[in-house]
Amino acid sequence: METLSENLNVHFLPPLTTFKDKRVIVRVDWNMPVIDGKIEDTSRFDVSVPFLKELSFAGAKIILLTHFGGKGESLKPVADHACRALPFIKFLPSLNFEEIRGEVDTLPLGDAVLLENVRMFPGEEDNIPSLATAFSSLGDVFINDAFSVSHREHASVVGVARNSLSYFGPTFKRELEHLTDALKPVKPAILIIGGAKISTKLPLIKHYLDQGIHVFIGGAMAHNVWLARGLSIGKSFYDKNYTVPESIINHPLLLTPADVVLETRETAPYNKIPADAVVVDCGEETVKMLVNFIKNSKTIIFNGPLGLYEKGWLHGTEQVLVQVTESQAKTYLGGGDTVDVAHSLHLLKKFTFVSLGGGAMLAYLASGTLPGIDAVTKQ
Ligand code: 3PG
């Protein structure tokens, strides 16, 4: 089994008393779903709480950075929640670095200032050096505790880390410890992956097929494979800008649904999809087929819904999730939509590990690193 390298270990946190009277920048990911001003799922905030309390208790002066929602959206609803839950946090809704610096300079020991949504600062997503320098000049030390956004080469993720003495926070460390096990899983293993776009997931699929691991692809991604095999997918959605390479199409370890559910609620075998039909989910035969693999696996990695989630076609995903949690295997779950389904079925506690990252989990499992990791370790 892969263990975390020395290179990563040296960037785990020293005792927090080291940070007494130091200005500590902490990048968190508090990008949470908010409806009518109310946070629907506070998990990403909740995981930060124990660490921030300890850092405050240790006498650090904390500068909190996070992105949130769409580009121009104020962090206010999240900030209100954070300031209520942790009264040592003050929200500073300003994009003016003179004002921000003034606030940081007078910050009492143990207090924290939460900056406005980092994606409202011009240059965040292009990682422009002046913004990275402005952020890093606010602190003596940088802690990245936002694994779930560390696949982004943004100023508050990679720019600040490259300019600063940098560490991984505890949430990040947890993700690394578990997902490093999932990188080279104990075999037999299966990757169950769904969603719409096969083009972005190909490196991941290859990573597991190359290790002799079964990969089941569900959702609209399977449609691209069937099209490439010359089968009809009717009027179903597929990734139009992408042709699946020959080496994947007929790979003996690549699995696709055995049957499908159509928009009309009828089912059809995967190779008999009518010309005017739209596929919305995988069928019962597929679940039965997967149960065999699930029962025989020592590791199961699941990311992405197996049906048209946005339109409520959850049945296939739900059934497979239940089967996965009933297995004796080590089980890893990620991806916002899939985690939501597991959450509604009260299954989250039954997984070995639930990643807070969707895209970041996939990117890490495909390559064994992320831009945000390389920036901290200065690779
Ligand atoms: C997420 O929700 O997956 C992370 O917060 C990253 O957000 P992003 O996809 O907007 O970069």
Closest C-alpha to ligand 1, atom 8: 149
DSSP letters for 93-118: ----HHHHHHHHHTPPTT-EEEES-G
Instruction: Please tell me the distance between residue 9's alpha carbon and the centre of ligand 1 in angstroms.
Output: 26
Ranges of the chain with pLDDT below 50: 1-2
Q: What is the dihedral of CA 276, 281, 285, 286, to 10 degrees?
A: 120
Q: What class, spelled out in words, does domain 6-173 have in CATH?
A: alpha beta
Instruction: Please tell me the distance between residue 151's alpha carbon and the centre of ligand 1 in angstroms.
Output: 9
Pocket test for ligand 1, best of 29, 66, 150 (most atoms within 8 A of CB): 29
* pLDDT of the residue at 9: 86
CA distance 324 to 156: 36
Q: Find the length of the chain.
A: 379
* pLDDT of the residue at 2: 46
Q: Is 148 in the pocket of ligand 1 (CB under 6 A)?
A: yes
Q: Are 63 and 75 in contact (CB under 8 A)?
A: no
Instruction: Please tell me the distance between residue 216's alpha carbon and the centre of ligand 1 in angstroms.
Output: 25
Tell me which fold the domain 184-345 belongs to: Rossmann fold (3.40.50)
Q: What is the pTM of this model?
A: 0.94
Instruction: Please tell me the distance between residue 348's alpha carbon and the centre of ligand 1 in angstroms.
Output: 20
Atom of ligand 1 nearest to the CA of 31: 5
- CA 237 from chain center: how many Å? 24
Pocket test for ligand 1, best of 149, 150, 361 (most atoms within 8 A of CB): 149
Q: Is 29 in the pocket of ligand 1 (CB under 6 A)?
A: yes
Instruction: Please tell me the distance between residue 31's alpha carbon and the centre of ligand 1 in angstroms.
Output: 7
Helix, strand or coil, per DSSP, at residue 190: strand
Closest C-alpha to ligand 1, atom 7: 149
* pLDDT of the residue at 1: 42
Atom of ligand 1 nearest to the CA of 148: 4
Q: Is 152 in the pocket of ligand 1 (CB under 6 A)?
A: yes
Domain-wise residue ranges, the chain: 6-173, 184-345
Residue the block writes with tokens 């902490």:
26
Closest C-alpha to ligand 1, atom 10: 69
Same fold, 6-173 and 184-345: yes
* pLDDT of the residue at 71: 72
* Nearest to 31, CA basis, from 72, 78, 92: 78
Torsion region of 274: left, alpha or beta (phi above 0 gives left; psi -120 to 50 gives alpha)? beta
Pocket test for ligand 1, best of 40, 67, 117, 172 (most atoms within 8 A of CB): 67
CA distance 147 to 168: 9
* pLDDT of the residue at 242: 85
Q: Is 31 in the pocket of ligand 1 (CB under 6 A)?
A: yes
How do 259-262 and 267-269 pair as beta strands?
Answer: antiparallel
* pLDDT of the residue at 356: 94
Instruction: Please tell me the distance between residue 70's alpha carbon and the centre of ligand 1 in angstroms.
Output: 10
pLDDT in tens, 19-72: 999 999 999 999 999 999 899 999 999 999 999 999 999 999 999 999 999 777
Angle between helices 315-325 and 336-344 (to 10 degrees): 70
* pLDDT of the residue at 120: 97
Pocket test for ligand 1, best of 30, 145, 148, 354 (most atoms within 8 A of CB): 148
Instruction: Please tell me the distance between residue 67's alpha carbon and the centre of ligand 1 in angstroms.
Output: 8
| Rg from Cα positions in the chain | 22
